Amino acid sequence: METTHLIRAFAAAALAVLLLSAVPVQSWAAVNCATVTSSTTTDSDSDGFTDFQECNGITLVDGTSFPSCVYPTAIANRRTCVHPDSKDLFVIVAPAATGSLLRADYAPFTGPTYYGITFHPLDDLGVTVHQITPGQAGSDRSVPSGYTQKAVKVSESLDTSGTILGYCQWGTPTGLDGCTVYTQRIVNFITSTCGTNAIVTAGGTPTTANDLFLAYATHTFLHETGHTTGGMTGVYNSSYGGYHYKCGAGTRMEQCVTSSVKGGNCKFNFSSGWNGTTDSSTIQLK
């Protein structure tokens, strides 16, 4: 007999529910960086960084530089540079200070593959994410330090006193802090759901509990970031806990993840990506 389990997490607008979606890729006239001066406050791509910043590059607190993708020379690796014509978002990943369950090289915003799924960050929605550490932004999450625009911060928590797997305020990167992913709760949920059954991917391929955990954690990191970049669904629906789609909708912002135990196998069903059509007008970065 197949059973389905629902997991819920919260994102707040007033208050919204679980786990883990986007803007029409806008079309702008290309910025001519050779003519952009320090006096301009124009932000052609509406990502919170001025054309001047993105034409001259951004330097973080620790000296890490993100040069311009287009000036004075073109840079192919979009994740290493900033662009005046397409949105940039900095996201701080903050592991637990001690006892973190995340790998040292954990990078949920670089498109990793776990559990047979390649997790797309926000590229499909016209936003390039630059993952950074807490020490690379200002103490108030400003990027660069002292500037107006802020990074989103998502912290790992090992707290086990609740059932919520992820939480984030609804809004924009410049709003309230507090996005959290409860990794130990995710581990505990996987353990209680699967028991002694074999863990397999949605396609039935044998895998490990750790691979499943990393997939669930990545799904949650991306989902919660969605809540603080404009909400990430076209409408607020209280039936689905606010800015979410119904469970099983097949998008990153669906309200919950389903799982099943059948024939001695335990599997989870994660959405493969974002709803780039319905949510394409919701991204708001400032």
DSSP string, 63-118: S-EE-BSSSSS--S-GGGSB-TTSEEEEEEEE--SSS--S-TT--GGG--EETTEE
CA distance 250 to 181: 21
CA-to-CA dists, residue 27 to 83, 118, 153, angstroms: 13, 27, 28
> Of 251 and 10, which is predicted with more confidence?
251
pLDDT computed for residue 242 by the predictor: 81
Does the structure show a pLDDT above 80 at 29? Answer: no
Does the structure show a pLDDT above 90 at 276? Answer: no
Domain boundaries, the chain: 5-25+87-269, 32-85
* Model-wide pTM > 0.85: yes
pLDDT digits (tens, 9 = 90+) for 214-227: 999 999 999 999 99
Task: With beta carbons less than 8 A apart as the criterion, state whether 70 and 33 touch.
Answer: yes
Q: With helix as H, strand as E and coil as C, how does 104-119 read?
A: CCCCHHHCCEECCEEC
Does the structure show a pLDDT above 90 at 203? Answer: yes
Q: How far is CA 276 from the centre of its chain?
A: 15
Q: In terms of Cα–Cα distance, which of 200, 203, 108, 213 is closest to 155?
A: 108
pLDDT computed for residue 24 by the predictor: 34
pLDDT digits (tens, 9 = 90+) for 170-183: 899 999 888 999 99
- Side by side, the strands of the sheet bearing 152-157 are 10-12, 166-169, 179-182, 152-157, 87-94, 127-132
> Of 275 and 150, which is predicted with more confidence?
150
pLDDT, average across residues 91-106: 96
CA-to-CA dists, residue 234 to 17, 100, 175, 227, 280, angstroms: 16, 35, 20, 12, 8
Beta bridge partners of 166: 181
Average pLDDT of the chain, as a whole number: 87
The DSSP 8-state label assigned to residue 146 in this structure reads T
pLDDT computed for residue 161 by the predictor: 96
Confidence band for 279, pLDDT divided at 50, 70 and 90: confident
pLDDT digits (tens, 9 = 90+) for 240-275: 878 888 888 888 898 889 999 999 999 999 987 888
Please give the backbone phi and psi of residue 153, each rounded to the nearest 5 degrees, phi first. -120, 125
